[in-house]
Structure 1
């Protein structure tokens, strides 16, 4: 017999002693104020020592590489597309401005757009001297020399050492690309290494209105040397490491990209990106890339290219044969094909008429509706037939109320559908066919550079949300604004539900094995809320498209309902279907056999239960 547990005084004493012991240890090990201050001073001193060591290393490296005769100064050059600044410190590209584009600034619509500026772009080669001194080219002082001809501007940046030198030779033509030839002379006199480390760090400027969307579409992309497919990791930050050679790596932003490519390919590479802090309004991403450059005959001799390009699909297709157009994330498989070979060409064709791009989206919506009108007609026709059959289905439900008659009810229901020539699942198929279009458009509007910065009605930028209506920031999920386009879309959606009778379908009697109609009805009320929260912070071009689409749906359904299919015509169709001789297909025949066998098994089980009683 289990005995009652009694109070154990010894256990209480043990717990108290353990607590006192723990408190004593913590008190004993807690440093005094003098010790805390001493630790702080030691930490500060360590940081100072580290900075001093770094400065000493830089000084040693600069002592190895002394500037050649001439002024070590920054150089600025330009062509029709870009302005470029080359820094004497590090001999690297310090600033790049795209002339034809501006950066979003709510106070100044003419803010220049920079992809690199004020040290945001860092290109570095590293190796050790024979004496063990770490050389980083970003710390060296280069002296420039500029040559111009009719086609190109050539900037030669030189860092000189005793018995050797390193040169960056930049060539700027009339496009967005800058060729870079990395060369050395007498490097074997300086280092015993057979490889040089390459490091490329870049801070991506925030140039768009929709900051969250800008971060969402920004990542590092790369392409293997023997492939035309690009590799990337979507959603949040990315990190990757490859031993196989890659031909180029891209620091992609939403509408622009900085790409570093190599004729020979980069080996032993690492790369990735990190989201900038939410409080940091200056940058959207921090990119990193490392690789190795092999020395050839103990010298550097590599050809690289920097491209600072807008992500315009048609432009990039003709820009080169490296596949840069695949950086535009129009989606994979059928979704990408819909965008590249249907939506984009149709939109470009409509935009060429010189109309506002918002109205081009309006016309695009009409084109899509015309293409989908046969599907919509079949969907509504099926819905109307199901509505007329509702009284007969209600009678079946009343006749077979008992749960043991579930199979009989199912057979009777299927018989009504078969006689009327109605497929209860046919209404779902048109909706499924429209899913690829929905997803394709989700990718289309926030990646179409033609819409970037373009105002229309309530929106100042069709690739970002419209935010005329401001609300308190503490309201969750809405980010301090209400999108008028998104709200009007929800209104149009609810009107369409009412006019089309979509809600009526959820009044149908519950069938065995079918989804719970009451639950589906509630979902139809909740769905607009989810859509609004999503579209409120998304590209207003997409909200405008869906607003127009639902408004057109209302008129199309009214026309089908009043002209093409009214209730008398629906009855005529059902009567005609019932009069037709029924050809039982193999699938339907098998379903009937399965249902009969299931019914027989159910009856046998019930008989066994009765016999046991």
Structure 2
């Protein structure tokens, strides 16, 4: 089995993995339409719930319309005298006043129902968090050390301040069950909280009928970092809570902003991650609309984008007992990426003195920073799963950090990282190339076998196995190294687009190593945009050219060796087809990855030339193989169990075929 065939097999496996990834993460048209309808329903519902003024106006308008209609009926009734008409009209109910409506909708919290809302802030050297007294919630987070791409300008390289949680339709609200209230309770997002700032602490309280009965939200920011201490408390409210109520539903909805250069990829990498107690972290499907039901105590929930996240960490024993998670994909022309909704059910035991201790993380997906929180939040970074994730997290990342400690250029780090990886893989590469040369040496003998056993495939295979054993050649020697190196390639495939360290770092013509590099933006063209994009990636183009050069250099010898193979022509075309396929697939991928692939392939060409032209002497290797054959004949070794069984099976099949042929001749 030659090196070209190994290359084809390797690329075939990579292509199948990529196609599987795309297929699994691509939403169907039905899912897209259903998501749009559900999103519209949620937006309508949210807008209605968030606007007390709208509720009041609608109620008053309905009451006025009803009174006006009744008045017209009275005036049109000819059987009534004018005095009777005036008396009946005077008895008609007037439109409800706002205060009575507030009392009906908010019960003991009617006094906290109406306000314009005022802004309050907490900040340190990393973040500035803005709150609104209406709801006592976060309405904007500015990350001071980061910039996002401005998708409202013509230049795709323009940047602006990076903000999270600043969409007007976002929600962060608790539903407090109350007896004798119209909707069965109140949403904290509809309440007006009184704010009290004390240094780095901001306390919001919404009072009921006296200052001993209130809902409190307390935020505390550190001198540095992205973490807030957050407590939600109920005080003195037990007499208002129905006896049957055993939970406080919590609703958190985030409409994610477009932050990165490539919104399509950022959308696929954005989702809800979560961790249940005594379970490993998990997440909703990234590439399509998804729903998850939580049935255990919830330790944390994270609304995560490609490089930033907003996470709610629940400490203490009062953890939510269940919940539901939903993600909705927004179309490309939307101003936002996704709508993420988390619903949790916090346990309700004693509303006279109930506190939920939590923390809120608002910042970058930095592996070390998230690891320091010590709840497994670093697993939201999509480094991959199983052995691939292990290699990304515990091999490639530490190696990168070591290089970054003294090399300022991230592009240069990629080249050095590539050189180190190719160096580590060189023994496998050498073994693969040596196996390829050995197979070429045996080609004359194998060709003779094909002539001798052209009508006996079983006999042909048995004789081939004997020759391989005599000369110490493994037919899988060219494939196995390629398979063994694939986990490293897949780990790198996930490492570059997920590593915030490469974000907005430039190298050569690439202005952002976590997004595509572009030397020409030709704009939106129907059909072409769907499978190629609106630009030309130079790293991808150069990689494709280098692959053709490698296949031309290395494949010519292999095609000569496989000249008598009926599948040789197909193999030749297949090996050239894969670079073309990846030319389209990788055009919008991270420049860091395509940069690595380009230099890795250039180093591979150099290694191949070095091995075949310098390190391996074909004549000397042929002599060594012949000597090995003679030594094996002089001192035959006992066959291994599987070899003996394999040959025995092949011999039995050959005998069966011969018997079948004899029986046919007799007939």
Q: Common fold, TM-score beyond 0.5?
A: yes
Match in the other structure for 2:548: 494
Q: Secondary structure at the match of 1:66?
A: helix
Match in the other structure for 2:201: 154
Following superposition of structure 1 onto structure 2, how do residues 444-523 of structure 1 map, counting pairs within 5 Å?
444-471=495-522, 473-474=525-526, 475=528, 476-501=530-555, 504=558, 507-508=561-562, 516-523=567-574
Match in the other structure for 1:363: 416
Q: Distance in 2 between matches of 1:197 and 1:374?
A: 59
CA gap of 1:538–1:108, structure 2 versus 1, over 3 A, is closer
Match in the other structure for 1:94: 139
Q: Secondary structure at the match of 2:384?
A: coil
Match in the other structure for 1:257: 309
Check if 1:428 corresponds to 2:479.
yes
- CA shift, 1:110, in A, is 4.4
Q: Does structure 2 retain, via aligned residues, the 8 Å contact 1:196–1:294?
A: yes
Q: Distance in 2 between matches of 1:120 and 1:69?
A: 19
Match in the other structure for 1:326: 379
- CA shift, 1:414, in A, is 2.5
1:474-519 CA deviation, whole Å, 9 max, x = no partner? 32411111110001111111222223337715852677xxx94443
> In the alignment, which of 638, 641, 644 is matched to residue 589 of structure 1?
644
Q: Distance in 2 between matches of 1:232 and 1:503?
A: 49
Worse-superposed segment, 175-184 or 217-226 = 175-184
Task: Give unmatched runs, 5+ long, in structure 1.
Answer: 1-46
Match in the other structure for 1:338: 391
Q: Distance in 1 between matches of 2:355 and 2:603?
A: 62
Q: Distance in 2 between matches of 1:536 and 1:171?
A: 45
Worse-superposed segment, 461-470 or 60-69 = 60-69
1:134-181 CA deviation, whole Å, 9 max, x = no partner? 311111111211111xxxx11111212224321211111232122222
Q: Secondary structure at the match of 1:247?
A: strand
Q: Distance in 2 between matches of 1:480 and 1:72?
A: 44
Check if 1:216 corresponds to 2:268.
yes
- CA shift, 1:69, in A, is 13
TM-score normalised by the chain length of structure 1: 0.85
> In the alignment, which of 289, 304, 310 is matched to residue 342 of structure 2?
289
CA gap of 1:69–1:216, structure 2 versus 1, over 3 A, is closer
Match in the other structure for 2:233: 183
Q: Secondary structure at the match of 1:202?
A: strand
Q: Distance in 2 between matches of 1:544 and 1:232?
A: 31
Check if 1:113 corresponds to 2:156.
no
Match in the other structure for 1:26: none
1:348-368 CA deviation, whole Å, 9 max, x = no partner? 111222331001000000000
Check if 1:537 corresponds to 2:588.
yes
Q: Does structure 2 retain, via aligned residues, the 8 Å contact 1:239–1:273?
A: yes
Following superposition of structure 1 onto structure 2, how do residues 203-282 of structure 1 map, counting pairs within 5 Å?
203-263=255-315, 264-280=318-334, 282=335
Q: Does structure 1 retain, via aligned residues, the 8 Å contact 2:440–2:561?
A: no
Q: Distance in 2 between matches of 1:298 and 1:74?
A: 28
CA gap of 1:376–1:502, structure 2 versus 1, over 3 A, is farther
Q: Distance in 2 between matches of 1:71 and 1:592?
A: 86
Match in the other structure for 1:21: none
> In the alignment, which of 146, 149, 156 is matched to residue 104 of structure 1?
149
Q: Secondary structure at the match of 2:149?
A: coil
Q: Does structure 1 retain, via aligned residues, the 8 Å contact 2:447–2:564?
A: no
Q: Does structure 1 retain, via aligned residues, the 8 Å contact 2:112–2:207?
A: yes
Match in the other structure for 2:620: 569
Worse-superposed segment, 155-164 or 213-222 = 155-164
Q: Does structure 2 retain, via aligned residues, the 8 Å contact 1:507–1:517?
A: no
Q: Secondary structure at the match of 2:492?
A: helix
Q: Distance in 1 between matches of 2:649 and 2:441?
A: 28
Q: Secondary structure at the match of 2:586?
A: helix
Q: Does structure 1 retain, via aligned residues, the 8 Å contact 2:148–2:259?
A: yes
CA gap of 1:401–1:67, structure 2 versus 1, over 3 A, is closer
Q: Secondary structure at the match of 1:459?
A: coil
1:41-85 CA deviation, whole Å, 9 max, x = no partner? xxxxxx999964796576844673324999952112211111011
Q: Does structure 2 retain, via aligned residues, the 8 Å contact 1:269–1:289?
A: yes
Match in the other structure for 1:348: 401
CA gap of 1:77–1:269, structure 2 versus 1, over 3 A, is same
1:568-596 CA deviation, whole Å, 9 max, x = no partner? 22322332222221424223222222222
Match in the other structure for 1:15: none
CA gap of 1:130–1:70, structure 2 versus 1, over 3 A, is closer
1:295-340 CA deviation, whole Å, 9 max, x = no partner? 332334222221112111122222x111111111211221112111
CA gap of 1:569–1:49, structure 2 versus 1, over 3 A, is same
Q: Secondary structure at the match of 1:265?
A: coil
Q: Distance in 2 between matches of 1:291 and 1:588?
A: 60
Match in the other structure for 2:215: 166
**Bigger relative contact order (CA 8 A; separation at least 6):** 2
Q: Secondary structure at the match of 2:320?
A: strand
Q: Distance in 1 between matches of 2:341 and 2:570?
A: 49
Check if 1:302 corresponds to 2:350.
no
Q: Distance in 2 between matches of 1:172 and 1:120?
A: 25
Q: Distance in 2 between matches of 1:131 and 1:588?
A: 82
Q: Secondary structure at the match of 1:222?
A: strand
Task: Give unmatched runs, 5+ long, in structure 2.
Answer: 1-47, 60-100
Worse-superposed segment, 377-386 or 196-205 = 196-205
Q: Does structure 2 retain, via aligned residues, the 8 Å contact 1:248–1:265?
A: no
Check if 1:124 corresponds to 2:167.
no
Check if 1:198 corresponds to 2:250.
yes
Q: Does structure 2 retain, via aligned residues, the 8 Å contact 1:68–1:160?
A: no
Q: Secondary structure at the match of 2:458?
A: helix
Q: Does structure 2 retain, via aligned residues, the 8 Å contact 1:206–1:284?
A: yes
1:197-222 CA deviation, whole Å, 9 max, x = no partner? 21111111111112121112111111
Q: Does structure 2 retain, via aligned residues, the 8 Å contact 1:62–1:139?
A: no
Match in the other structure for 2:193: 142
- CA shift, 1:119, in A, is 2.5
Q: Distance in 1 between matches of 2:103 and 2:426?
A: 74
- CA shift, 1:275, in A, is 1.3
- CA shift, 1:609, in A, is 1.6
Q: Does structure 2 retain, via aligned residues, the 8 Å contact 1:492–1:550?
A: yes
TM-score normalised by the chain length of structure 2: 0.78
Calculate the aligned-residue CA RMSD, in Å.
2.7
Match in the other structure for 2:65: none
Q: Does structure 2 retain, via aligned residues, the 8 Å contact 1:66–1:159?
A: no
Q: Does structure 1 retain, via aligned residues, the 8 Å contact 2:273–2:301?
A: yes
Q: Secondary structure at the match of 1:303?
A: strand
Match in the other structure for 1:28: none
